[in-house]
């Protein structure tokens, strides 16, 4: 915890040698020590403020430094139009990424970016292991996993506002797609489904 100028001054006065020459308060020595105490108090206050800047989720002054050290975004996102909160989340996710291929790790990556996802895995059907009515899953499907996430933004065709040849609708894809494709095993195929209901 940082100290006020008066507290720093009192601390400096206590360190003076005892005796007649330095015992009088309010004189030249105190004025000199007060000139030393003010910068010490400023340094202590700024050091205390920098403690919050250690975590990319809270960093404001040092966020550009985190982004510089992390290098260009591997997904090619332009960070300039993003909000401070979004930039902090991305920096935190990249700063703390320890690596991993498990489903809980992939879900935690999405959570660090502020997104809730669910992942389903498929396993090939085996004779003797199926029950009536179960879906058949072919060989190779164990390398496909379905990522369910909430729908982002949908832009629908509007009569009178759109022109001939315009698509009937567009779905704005989530930034998590690039992140998960980038860290997934090379032999796996993540498939994204925007069908998850928003958390209430």
Split at pLDDT 50, 70, 90, the class of 100 is: confident
75, β-bridge pairs: none
Q: Could you tell me the strand order of the sheet in which 189-196 lies? A: 117-121, 144-150, 189-196
Return the minimum-mean-pLDDT range out of 74-83, 85-94, 102-111, 153-162. Answer: 153-162
pLDDT value at position 52? 84
The residue among 174, 168, 178 whose CA lies nearest residue 193 is 174
Helical packing angle, 84-96 and 103-112, nearest 10°: 150
| pTM to 2 decimal places | 0.63
The predicted-structure confidence for 112-162, as pLDDT tens digits, reads as follows 888 899 999 888 877 777 777 777 777 878 888 999 998 777 777 777 777
CA distances from 173 to 24, 44, 78, 177 (A): 73, 46, 15, 8
- Write the CA distances from 18 to 24, 97, 118, integer angstroms: 10, 56, 71
Q: What is the pLDDT of residue 67?
A: 94
């Amino acid at each position: 915890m940082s100290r006020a100028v008066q507290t720093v001054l009192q601390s400096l006065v206590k360190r003076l040698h005892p005796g007649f020459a330095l015992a009088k308060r309010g004189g030249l020595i105190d004025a000199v020590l007060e000139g030393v105490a003010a910068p010490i108090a400023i340094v202590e206050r700024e050091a205390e403020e920098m403690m919050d800047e250690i975590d990319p989720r809270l960093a404001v002054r040092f966020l550009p430094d985190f982004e510089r050290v992390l290098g260009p975004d591997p997904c090619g996102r332009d960070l300039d139009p993003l909000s401070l909160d979004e930039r902090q989340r991305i920096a935190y996710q990249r700063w703390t990424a320890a690596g991993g291929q498990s489903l809980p790790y992939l879900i935690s990556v999405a959570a660090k970016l502020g997104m809730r996802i669910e992942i389903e895995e498929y396993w090939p059907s085996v004779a003797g292991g199926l029950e009536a009515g179960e879906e058949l899953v072919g060989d190779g499907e164990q390398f496909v996993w379905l990522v369910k996430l909430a729908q982002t933004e949908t832009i629908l065709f509007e009569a009178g506002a759109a022109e001939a040849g315009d698509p009937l609708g567009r779905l704005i894809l989530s930034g998590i797609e690039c992140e998960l494709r980038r860290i997934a095993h090379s032999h796996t195929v993540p498939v994204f489904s925007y069908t998850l209901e928003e958390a209430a």
